[in-house]
Amino acid sequence: MQEFSAIFFTSSIHVTVMTVSGSPDSLFPSLSSHALSGEKVTLPEDCRGFVTLIAIAFQRGAQGMIDSWYDPFSREFADNQNVRFYEIPMIGSAYWRLMSGWIDAGMRSGIPVIKHPFVITYYGDVFPYRKDLGMDDPALAYIFLLDGEGKIRWRNKGYAEESDIIEMKGHISRLLQ
């Protein structure tokens, strides 16, 4: 079966890319790093068996975009043990990699402890991930919905709009069936 994607432009910084159900979706690329809680996390392996929403950002200024997705996601699915959310700040500069302990400590102090196992700061070459996942604008947050096998079933970027939240919740509900 051929993969089919539709692109909908909804504002100057918001693009919705929807992968049609039933197409041979791609596996999320392998990414391994440490969560703020200290545990090593490897994606998509640690997502197996869970419906997982992943938010990736390259700049601190994208945090509002991530929150626009996380807050409604959390309100709807916080009590569902079959659903996970990971936030991945990606930092590619060698200078910042040297400062990783300081950066992670700062994030730990500003992020609730309950979220620490699900915030995975990646320090390394970000360009293969940007290329493989189509993350062309580093100013935007990128959102990926994975099924229980680690396959990308839906994606989006930028700020969430109400129609995006409805669509995301629908995809998650279908994947949980």
Per-residue pLDDT, 124: 87
Per-residue pLDDT, 100: 59
Domain boundaries, the chain: 8-17+59-176
- Residue 31: which of 20, 22, 44, 21 has the closest Cα? 44
Per-residue pLDDT, 146: 98
Four-CA torsion 113, 115, 118, 123, nearest 10 degrees: -70
Answer yes or no: are the C-beta atoms of 123 and 32 closer than 8 Å.
no
Per-residue pLDDT, 114: 83
* Helix runs in the chain, H state only: 63-77, 94-98, 100-110, 127-133, 162-176
Total number of residues shown for the chain? 177
Per-residue pLDDT, 117: 80
Answer yes or no: are the C-beta atoms of 138 and 132 closer than 8 Å.
no
Query: Is beta strand 14-19 parallel, antiparallel or unpaired with respect to 5-11?
Result: antiparallel
pLDDT along the chain (177 residues), means of 10: 37 35 70 90 96 96 96 96 95 64 64 82 91 96 98 97 97 97
- The pTM (predicted TM-score) of the whole model is 0.81
- Residue 18: which of 167, 155, 132 has the closest Cα? 155
